[in-house]
Chain A
């Protein structure tokens, strides 16, 4: 395998591990935060001010970073029966188009989400001093990762290293 391929594989593995760690951590943080909010209200008898705003923002962060992770692991929900019924050549062409379309959508998230995120620069959440950019930034970051993942796959498809059947979404029959 050529050197570029090795680098791409190495980066891919690192990215997957980071995304996995992120997903597990964020799910854990939400579990802890919400339970602390309940504990604080009923046991400490004082409501936390960030009880709604912070968890909602963390969930939004999980949404876009997690979307990139699921793009990589091919776990987005979809409808694959029709595409699977086509012949292999057709499947490869459609898979290539799909990756480009997904990359294009990732690019719009990256570009417009990035502009939006920067426009929130310097502002923080109402209830706790955390910059809004930290959360809004998940949109361009997730979008950029989706672009990278889909482009790598597009190249893999064109070069025949990836089988189109592997890229169809998690579907039912």
Chain B
């Protein structure tokens, strides 16, 4: 009987997640010719919430997930702490450290195994009022955020008026002035053509969010030890490839965007200072847990 590995992603065909999963599929099928890796983009196998729950039930095999993971493993909210990572090399340091093990431990009891962290990107702010250089420039701006309590708190703390909205509404919302701006990786601003309705892109890099390559325990347990180890190893080995891809894409996208939108650097220190209270905010500390925060800061060499 042919072995099947079905992987879910909420992102559409042609997205970065699609590129990562295609690379993963090729690597797995090269080493395990019997394995049929099937990629399902665009949540065609169910909503993110259902897929994550289904991993534990065995209805779903694997998923490349992002922010929704926080609902299953609150420790994943550590990535919502602002200005944690300077660059992608630091993210890989994190992934090779005890902090990663602590993060992976947070999935225990959910029937989910975290195999690797893959790239997603540093988030930048776009808006059509003014370039954001200091937090004071955010004052009164309606910035769309995902439906994430932490992201809403972050932007309200920085002085903006955080407006949670589903991504599908963002383009027209920006076009009509319902919202002034939004925050996403630069490549999203490019692929969703947000530069058509936005004047300024400020390289705030306020948050780095990875994607989480998750496997369901029931599926893993149904495989031979050899297959299990091979799949998990390939997932981990693919991670550096995705980070390189991310770095290259960032450079390419920013170059392409320079003619379409005014890009500016921000005052990092001013932003870091303004975001500092969030590190003591119970909304973050209660969700993430003191230990997770402490270990993370430790492995990243932060005070």
A and B touch in the complex (CB under 8 A): yes
Residue numbers of A with Cβ under 8 A of B are 41, 45-47, 49, 51-53, 115-116, 119-120, 123, 126-127
Query: Which of B71, B142, B164 is in CB contact (< 8 Å) with A49?
Result: B164
Are B53 and A49 in contact (CB-based, < 8 A)? no
A52 lies within 8 A of B53 (CB): no
A126 in contact with B56 given A47-B163, A47-B164 (CB within 8 Å): no
Q: Which of B149, B161, B166 contacts A52 (CB 8 A)?
A: B166
A-B contact pairs, 22 of them (CB 8 A): A41-B178, A45-B161, A46-B161, A47-B142, A47-B163, A47-B164, A47-B165, A49-B152, A51-B164, A52-B147, A52-B164, A52-B165, A52-B166, A115-B57, A116-B53, A116-B57, A120-B53, A123-B71, A126-B147, A127-B147, A127-B149, A127-B164
Q: Which residue of B lies closest to A120 (CB)?
A: B53
CB distance from A137 to the nearest CB of B (A): 15
Complex interface: chain B residues within 8 A of A123 (CB): 71
Chain B residues with CB below 8 A from A47, complex form: 142, 163-165
Q: How far is the CB of B178 from chain A (nearest CB, A)?
A: 8
Shortest CB-to-CB span from B67 to chain A, Å, is: 9
Q: Does B148 contact A (CB under 8 A)?
A: yes
Q: Smallest CB–CB gap between B36 and chain A, Å?
A: 27
Residue of B148, B163, B178 ringed by the most chain A CB atoms within 10 A: B163
- Cα distance A117–B149 when bound, in Å? 23
CB distance from A138 to the nearest CB of B (A): 15
In residues 31-80 of chain B, which contact A (Cβ within 8 Å)? 53, 56-57, 71
Q: Which residues of A contact B142 (CB under 8 A)?
A: 47
**Contact size range, B:** 10 to 19
A115 shortest CB reach to chain B, Å: 8
Q: Which residue of B lies closest to A124 (CB)?
A: B71
CA distance A119 to B50 in the complex (A): 11
Chain B binding site: helix, strand, loop or mixed by DSSP?
A: mixed
User: In the complex, what distance in Å separates the CA atom of A45 from the CA atom of B165?
Assistant: 14
Chain B residues whose CB sits within 8 angstroms of the CB of A120 once the complex forms: 53
How far, in angstroms, from A87 to B169 measured CA to CA in the complex? 55
**Chain B residues within an 8 Å CB radius of A41:** 178
Besides the known contacts A45-B161, A49-B152, 20 further A-B residue pairs in the complex with CB atoms under 8 A apart = A41-B178, A46-B161, A47-B142, A47-B164, A49-B164, A51-B164, A51-B165, A52-B164, A52-B165, A52-B166, A115-B57, A116-B53, A120-B53, A123-B71, A126-B71, A126-B148, A126-B149, A127-B147, A127-B149, A127-B164
- The distance in angstroms between the C-alpha atoms of A123 and B147, with both chains bound, is 16
What is the minimal beta-carbon distance from B47 to any residue of chain A, in angstroms?
A: 10
Q: Which single residue of chain B is at the shortest CB-CB distance from A116? A: B53
* Across-interface contacts of B148 in A (CB, < 8 A): 126
B53 CB contact (under 8 Å) in A45, A119, A127: A119
Q: How many Å lie between the Cα of A41 and that of B53 in the bound state? A: 33
Which residues from chain A contact B163 at a C-beta distance below 8 Å?
47
Given the complex of chains A and B, what is the CA–CA distance between A45 and B166 in angstroms?
18
With A and B bound together, what is the CA distance between A52 and B152 in angstroms? 15
Q: Mark B158-177, 1 if CB is under 8 A from A, else 0.
A: 00010111100000000000
Residues of A near B57 (CB, < 8 A) are 115-116, 119
Chain A residues with CB under 8 A of B56 = 119
Closest Cβ of chain A: how far from B63's Cβ, in Å? 16
Closest to A47 in B: B163
- The smallest C-beta distance from A36 to any residue of chain B, in angstroms, reads 15
**Which partner residue on chain A sits nearest B169 by CB separation?**
A52
Cα of A161 to Cα of B149 in the assembled complex, Å: 56
Question: How near does chain A come to B147, taking the closest CB pair, in angstroms?
Answer: 5
Nearest neighbor of A45 in chain B, beta-carbon distance: B161
Q: Which residue of B lies closest to A52 (CB)?
A: B166
Shortest beta-carbon contacts, A-B, top 8: A47-B163, A49-B164, A126-B147, A127-B147, A52-B166, A119-B53, A53-B147, A49-B152
